[in-house]
Amino acid sequence: MVASETRVALITGASGGIGAAVARRLGAEGHRLVLVARSEDRLRAVAAGLAADGRPDVSVLPCDITQGEAVRAMVEQVENRLGRIDVLVNAAGINKPALFQRLRPDDWEDVLRVNLTGVMLTTQAVLRVMRRQRAGCIVTIASLAGRQGREGMSSYCASKFAVVGLMDTLRREVEKLGIRVTTILPGEVDTAMHGGDPAAGARRIAPEDVALAVSFALNLSDRAVLPEIGLHNRAAE
């Protein structure tokens, strides 16, 4: 892996929550950042915060990761502009809670499109670059809900179970090419997705903790691969 100060890191879901925390962490470590999400305004707000912290070298690329042609064009633009992609962090995700019996097909499709298909499309596009480089790190934010079902979260759990299996398969396919794949499985994280209950928030994982796990996986030597990192919530007092 190239030195951190020259690495190019593409982060999806970078307009807030975990993705923005990852951007702040990797920016502080010297990565050249490419921030991707649907909302250009929110991405530019994150980029402005990074610039204020002394990280002006940030590219903002609005993109709907569920649209294959748009994703491929976005990745091609990054490669043409920056010459390489060393790190992909799949941090985009949504949740539309509902008991299974009340689950609307449209909501089911929306969750799987972002949480699973979006990960697949983005990873495929970036992988073409990394295969030519014969180097790269792919880190995907899944969830402990990808290991155990949760009431009222059937579509979210289904998407995260699938992502865990997808990334484990990918890791086995590309590890001989010098490409490392890590999946991070956090419990409930203190983001807008989970609402603003202060009592629950005190036990939720901070987005910065997930970002620290991403950094840890990326900073291992090339001789080591960390397939999964599980982050559990603090026990209730």
What is the pLDDT, as a whole number, of residue 203?
74
Percent of the chain with pLDDT over 90: 86
Residues 208-226, mean pLDDT to the nearest whole number? 95
Q: Going from the N-terminus, what domains does the chain have, and what CATH number goes with each?
A: 4-228 (3.40.50.720)
Assess whether pLDDT exceeds 70 at residue 231.
yes
Assess whether pLDDT exceeds 90 at residue 183.
yes
∠ CA 29-35-36, nearest 5°, is: 150
Residues with catalytic roles: 156
More confident residue, 99 or 235: 99
What is the pLDDT, as a whole number, of residue 226?
95
- Label residue 237 exposed, middle or buried (CB < 10 Å: 0-12, 13-18, 19+): exposed
What is the pLDDT, as a whole number, of residue 215?
98
State pLDDT tens for residues 95-140.
Answer: 999 999 999 999 999 999 999 999 999 999 999 999 999 999 999 9
Is residue 159 a contact partner of residue 112, using CB atoms and an 8 Å limit?
A: yes
Q: Which long-range contacts (CB under 8 A, 24 or more apart) does 105-110 make?
A: 107/155, 108/155
- Residue 68: CB atoms within 10 A of its CB come to 15
What is the pLDDT, as a whole number, of residue 236?
59
The pTM of this model reads: 0.93
Residue 23 phi/psi, 5-degree rounding, is -60, -45
Distance CA 161, CA 165 (A): 7
Assess whether pLDDT exceeds 80 at residue 182.
yes
Distance CA 73, CA 81 (A): 12
